[in-house]
Structure 1
Amino acid sequence: MMQDQNVLELDIQNPDNINSEFSTHNSFEAAHEKDSKHSKSVEKNQKIYSVNDSKKFEDILLRHIEKMNEKTITRNQLLTQHKQTLLQLFGLGATTKEVLTFLKENHFTGISEENLKEFLKKKK
């Protein structure tokens, strides 16, 4: 249906063609040549993206939104938030040095032995 409308539009644009059966092919080629010239200039100035590129773009933007929405917390809030786990570790006999060593081995820095000792004093 849409193609028929396009053919009719092309026939109307090209009044020299009297027989529509044969004229649709000629007028379609002429229109296609005009479109291809236009699309070549678009390709020179713009990159053409695939549907997959569009999905990747959206994923990147969504991750950026998540990053912007991330809340930051202080060291004390972090310790308080994981109070039960820390107390469980210390209850099993872990020392502050052992906990710090394990954190550093797992690339987590910013907590000092003094921070852990203060935390333990407050929680007891």
Structure 2
Amino acid sequence: MKDNMSFGRLCLGILFLLIGFGYAGNIFGIWHFSIFFRGWWTLFIIIPALNSMYERGIGIWNTTWLLFGASLLLGELHILHSRDVMRFGVPVFFIVLGIYLLFHRDGGSSVHIEIHRDDE
């Protein structure tokens, strides 16, 4: 599936389907549906982080952004206290940054290939 469709396109397709079915349910009086919910803006952090994880693999930065966005969403939904999210978010950010700087290899691994031509 990764070769045929990007994760972002898949998410947008599913999102538009859900929105369409949601509003259809409104029209028929089955349920009350609205695009906007408490903390909807955190999806602008969460979805790009998930997209990055899918396309580049799980890394320290996309995981950090995902956890940050998820904790903000949980704060907005009153599952976590908003002040606790910010109070713990700042130290966690600096800890993750420190770990990254200490353990990340500069430039990654590279391969050096030499081709020698025998001129006889």
TM-score range, shorter chain: under 0.3
Work out which of the two has the higher radius of gyration on C-alpha atoms and give 1 or 2: 1
Question: TM-score, normalised on structure 1?
Answer: 0.20
Question: TM-score, normalised on structure 2?
Answer: 0.21
